Amino acid sequence: MQVASLGLPPAQLPPPPAYRKPVLVTTYSHLPDRHLEPGDASMAYFRPGGALPGSDLAYGFDERIERDERLEEHLDGMCWALGRGGERKGGVVSWRGMMTRIMTAPFEDREGWEMRALALDGSVYLEIWEDRDSADYSYKMKENAQWALQSYMGYAYEAYATIPEAEDGPEGWSGTVNTNVQWCNVVRSAIGDVPLFLGGEVDCVRGPVGSPNPGLDATVELKTNKVINSERADKIFLKKLLKHWAQSFLLGVPTVDVGFRTDAGILESRHEFETATLPALAARGGANWTPAPCLHFLSAVLSMLVREVLPTDPVVTGAADGLEEGDLPPAHLFSLRFTPRRGVELVSLGE
């Protein structure tokens, strides 16, 4: 049953709702074996001056250790973080990646997505939903395998752009790429009057090796890009900047360091961009995106979720009454579906 839908915002809009500057609530680390522990064990330090030009981003490909994508972790890390405080009821708890998808939807003309939402204990929880038995999913997995080396180069760039604990391998190399390792920052923010509690991976921080977590203002997002050598490549880069901007803006990461590589994976140059200036940079280059529709759409979608999903909270409806301690109340599930160039619809799937 469709309960609500939203078309995409028009190009001419009033000033967008404010996005509150994110405040860091807590951090946690996934270790090399994917175990999760509180704190900054997996925090990496940005190498002053960045990765060295000439670095080979294909180095170590055969030794890489990859996270098992089949494991569904849902919002486990976030739920653990909630226990550490900072949540404000009446809002949305999710991954930053979900917010990035919603925010960039007004300019997305290719890929649709589906998320699942439910209300529990005063908040709306939102996560991605993929039908792992579907043809679409197998196709995506096959495509990913074909792009394994390209994707690896992004991680290898992280290894060169951060300070190695021990020198082993080519100059600047931090050791075997292990995608189990992740450092997550959990922030509190708000869009308009909807409170947000968001978790996301942060690539590294500026600061002396071994120093304590310097906070969001010192965080750096690392990205790779093919060397820009044509007008077409420039256009593609300006388009990609929308995702880079949204991703970093949402978590309060002020710097995006982009490494430019050849097709073969040799780093030619790098450039540090200020997240806040990315929209102006893209506009000057003639990109078609601007932040206003993104913020309007994020605000409209999240307001819709709070309005439609929150009242089904089993604590509010009484469905949680009489349950034993530790029993999960029956949750009312919703599906949020995005169709490119159309908008989103919210469908009630029931209990």
155 interacts with, out of Mg ion, ligand A3P, none, CB within 5 to 8 A per kind: ligand A3P
Quickly count: other Cβ atoms within 10 Å of residue 84's Cβ. 13
Residue 348 interacts with ligand A3P (CB under 6 A)? no
Which of 84, 47, 100 is CA-nearest to residue 253?
Answer: 100
Residues within window 204-233 making contact with ligand A3P, judged by CB under 6 A? 223-224
Quickly count: other Cβ atoms within 10 Å of residue 320's Cβ. 17
Give the shortest CB-73-to-ligand A3P separation in angstroms.
Answer: 15
Dist. CA 227–CA 278, nearest whole Å: 18
The type of residue at 78 is M
162 interacts with, out of Mg ion, ligand A3P, none, CB within 5 to 8 A per kind: none
Residue 108 interacts with ligand A3P (CB under 6 A)? no
Residue 155 interacts with ligand A3P (CB under 6 A)? yes
151 interacts with, out of Mg ion, ligand A3P, none, CB within 5 to 8 A per kind: ligand A3P
Dist. CA 182–CA 224, nearest whole Å: 18
Strand locations in the chain (E): 2-7, 23-30, 36-38, 92-95, 113-120, 123-128, 182-191, 194-201, 204-205, 219-226, 255-261, 267-274, 333-339, 343-350
Residue 151 interacts with ligand A3P (CB under 6 A)? yes
Mask for 178-207, x = binds ligand A3P (CB under 6 A): -------------------------x----
- Residue partners of 241: CB distance under 8 A and separation at least 6: 278, 281, 282, 287
Which of 127, 129, 131 is CA-nearest to residue 139?
Answer: 131
Evaluate whether 337 touches 331 at the Cβ level (below 8 Å).
no
Mask for 244-273, x = binds Mg ion (CB under 5 A): ------------------------------
Give the shortest CB-82-to-ligand A3P separation in angstroms.
Answer: 23
Give the shortest CB-315-to-Mg ion separation in angstroms.
Answer: 35
Give the shortest CB-272-to-ligand A3P separation in angstroms.
Answer: 14
Give the shortest CB-326-to-Mg ion separation in angstroms.
Answer: 35
Token pair for 83 = 């226990």
In the complex with ligand A3P, the residue whose CB is nearer, 221 or 308, is 221
Task: Say how many residues touch ligand A3P, by CB under 6 A.
Answer: 8
Dist. CA 31–CA 37, nearest whole Å: 8
- Residue partners of 329: CB distance under 8 A and separation at least 6: 120, 314, 315, 319, 320, 323
Task: Say how many residues touch Mg ion, by CB under 5 A.
Answer: 3
Residues listed for the chain: 351
Stretch that binds ligand A3P, among 115-123, 149-157, 211-219, 228-236 (CB under 6 A): 149-157
Give the shortest CB-181-to-Mg ion separation in angstroms.
Answer: 10
234 interacts with, out of Mg ion, ligand A3P, none, CB within 5 to 8 A per kind: none
Residues within window 178-217 making contact with Mg ion, judged by CB under 5 A? 201, 203
Give the shortest CB-224-to-ligand A3P separation in angstroms.
Answer: 4
Dist. CA 153–CA 172, nearest whole Å: 15
Residue 243 interacts with Mg ion (CB under 5 A)? no
Per CB under 6 A, residues contacting ligand A3P are 144, 151, 154-155, 157, 203, 223-224
Per CB under 5 A, residues contacting Mg ion are 201, 203, 222
